[in-house]
Amino acid sequence: MPKPLFVTLFMARSGSKFLRSLLNQHPDIEDFGEFFHDRAKKFLTEKDLFIGLGQVLLTSCPQRGIQFRYPRHFTEIPEFAELLISRTQAVRIIHLKRRNKLKGAISQQNAEALKKMTGKAHLFRKSEVSKLDKTEIDVPRALKEAQERDRLDAEYFRWAASQFETLEVFYEDLVEDRVQTVSTICRFLGLNPIKPDTLRESELVKVTSSDLSKAIANYDDLAREAKVLGLQRWLLDDAELAAQAGSAEPFDAGKASKNSHDTARASIRDGWDKALEFCGETRAGHKVRLVAEKLALRTNTVFLEDVVHNGQPRRIITLQGETIWQSSDAGMSWSQHDIAAPARKCFTTRTGRHFLQDKTGKIGLYDEHWAHIGDIETGPYPWHGTWSIDECPSTGTILWAEYPYCAETVNVWRSVDDGQSWSICFSVKGHGSDPKLGDIRHFHLVQKCTTWPGRWYLSSGDHLSQCRFWTSDDDGVTWQEIPLQSVNGPGANDLPAELYPLVYRFTGMIQLDDRLIWATDDTFRGNGARVCTMDKNALGHVRLFGGDCGTNEIRNLIQIDNRYALAISEAKLDIDAAYASVIEMVDEQVETTLYLPNRRGTKSNFMNGVSSKQADDRGRFFAQSDNIVLYPAPMTTRWKFDLAR
């Protein structure tokens, strides 16, 4: 259904005039272009501005459009931005941008050169100058402006997508197939597409060649400096870059997916860029849908933590280099915080203090506003993942467990002063050079019991004799091993008894009031990973759910609600796919397993034990991604689980 106004949000040299020339061929569209540009000259008074805007809004054409350039117009005409925000339901946003940010920056320099020659910044079919000769560009300026374009495109997309229905349109797609791209825009605006044979070519001509080596006189200098900055992807031609960027549904897995227009509309509503659906059915025939949502984040933005503390806003913490990106609205918008040094792990206490741990085990302490307090030296090894560190809410005691490749001694660390100081509270003998020879290889999990005061749970792996389980009932001061006493349940019927100790090999856990639930980081020699449960008042007696989770080892276990959970594997033993198994916790049954095809076909840890522990009330959770199974994709993925009951 049409809305009163659409706004084309864009940055200079993104093809705005080209797009306008095409849209205005539709009988129901009048795009007024950069109506507010040069405000000081066009609108001398507030009255002039009011009258001008009235001319736009009161035109008889069903779809009125205005082009709004960022960042300039947000500063020059802030009233219009405020007006848009106050009427979000009446506005649609077309976000026009270049896929290749470097070409946008070079186009700016070429346009400046063209203007000196002709007095105009654009080429037309009837222009005396048909094209520019090779030009020598300011390489440092071009690369700096390309990076700035990349940042601003992401920033203003987040601004738009968090508040309006927004459609992303790439200039390169408009040039490659104007008919298809304009048709998509028309459907987005609620209009019938222009008939393909009636859409005329624009009179505008591209200024910058698609092949930069043919357009830039000092191309070798550009290529060398781009490589130094890691920006060589922008030297590719448009087709190669589109393929690398995954413009044609990067998560295409051959599963049931929406048509392109529905996907675009859905992605706008919830703020993602692309989406991939995986579908299945429960034993009772109920439809299951798992959606991977690609957020507007750079590929190297790594998910670290989903912070859930009672009485506090839920926060998502990600890391890009030495910058923390934090969201309090499920990834719709992000705040930026600089940190002192790169890190790999994060944990946030109930007081708001953040622990950032690097690969050496060193912990950087930060306050609730991400101000650096100092660094703490502990052991030489980091913790493993989300379930390898926890805090007792009543005492404030914090424990984390080491995860070395192999080590002479493997330790559990304890703090009682909000991470200011740490001491070893438990140690087990390992082996310095052979991971199979120690009493354990490393610790997988340490978690506070949600029911019993003072109790903690601890597990280890990896090999048969190294899969062990302990508890502490005095807040981590002393520990008791819990021997495996029995294994039963329908999932145990086809397993050799000599493999039963492997049920203690797991990296994630769900706690209900009366029992623990986990999925094994082991497939029992190809028989399939299992879901296990153990009553909190009968430790050592393990029941196996009916069914299995496939032939890859489970690394993440996310609680969806009081009845369902999702076990997600890596892609190593079966390299073709990772598995997502739907678990029914009441009936103790694996309902169905969804296959997530491995796009790159190399061994993948996938989420690797780092994710939300539980979904929110809309079925959404976050996880780390290694850019292999889902490729290309940011290393932060938002997921959504739906079950039609």
pLDDT per residue as tens digits for the range 385-433 = 999 999 999 999 999 999 999 999 999 999 999 999 999 999 999 999 9
Q: Is the pLDDT of residue 570 over 90?
A: yes
**Of 247, 276, 296, which residue sits at a domain end?**
247
- Quick one: 614 and 559 in the same domain? yes
Q: Is the pLDDT of residue 269 over 50?
A: no
Counting residues of the chain whose pLDDT is more than 70, the rounded percentage is 88
629 in a structural domain? yes
Alpha-carbon span 645 to 642, nearest angstrom = 9
- Quick one: 290 and 234 in the same domain? no
Assign residue 169 the CATH number of its domain.
3.40.50.300
Question: What's residue 231's pLDDT?
Answer: 84
Q: Is the pLDDT of residue 239 over 60?
A: no
Counting residues of the chain whose pLDDT is more than 90, the rounded percentage is 60
- Quick one: 289 and 224 in the same domain? no
- Quick one: 225 and 296 in the same domain? no
- Quick one: 182 and 274 in the same domain? no
Question: What's residue 314's pLDDT?
Answer: 95
Q: Which of the residue ranges 218-222, 277-281, 495-499 has the most confident prediction, judged by mean pLDDT? A: 495-499
510 in a structural domain? yes
Task: Report phi then psi at 610, rounded to 5.
Answer: -120, 110
Alpha-carbon span 66 to 562, nearest angstrom = 48
Question: What's residue 580's pLDDT?
Answer: 97
Alpha-carbon span 366 to 340, nearest angstrom = 9
- Quick one: 549 and 562 in the same domain? yes
Q: Coil, helix or strand for 29?
A: strand
In the DSSP assignment, the letter for residue 477 is S
- Quick one: 98 and 231 in the same domain? yes
Alpha-carbon span 32 to 54, nearest angstrom = 12
Task: Report phi then psi at 217, rounded to 5.
Answer: -70, -40
* Segment 132-180, tens digit of pLDDT: 567 889 999 999 999 999 989 988 988 888 888 889 899 988 888 888 8
Query: What domain count does the chain have?
Result: 2
- CA 433-434-438 angle, to 5 degrees, is 105
- Quick one: 129 and 139 in the same domain? yes
489 in a structural domain? yes
Q: Is the pLDDT of residue 238 over 70?
A: no
- Quick one: 236 and 278 in the same domain? no
Q: What is the mean pLDDT of residues 308-313?
A: 90
| H-only helix segments in 443-536 | none
- Quick one: 492 and 613 in the same domain? yes
Residue 631 CB neighbours (<10 A): 18
Which contacts qualify for 509-512: CB closer than 8 Å, 24 or more apart?
Answer: 509/387, 509/445, 509/447, 509/457, 509/557, 510/557, 510/559, 510/565, 510/585, 510/613, 511/447, 511/449, 511/450, 511/451, 512/585
**Of 202, 229, 247, which residue sits at a domain end?**
247
Q: What is the mean pLDDT of residues 609-616?
A: 98
**Which domain does 581 fall in, by range?**
249-304+483-645
Alpha-carbon span 319 to 232, nearest angstrom = 23
Question: What's residue 435's pLDDT?
Answer: 93
* Segment 71-82, tens digit of pLDDT: 988 887 888 888
Q: Is the pLDDT of residue 346 over 50?
A: yes
Question: What's residue 25's pLDDT?
Answer: 93
The label of the residue with tokens 């100790």 reads 501
Q: Which residue has the higher pLDDT, 216 or 547?
A: 547
Alpha-carbon span 10 to 642, nearest angstrom = 35
- Quick one: 194 and 282 in the same domain? no
Q: What is the mean pLDDT of residues 569-594?
A: 95
Alpha-carbon span 624 to 81, nearest angstrom = 35
Round the average pLDDT of the chain to a whole number and report it: 87
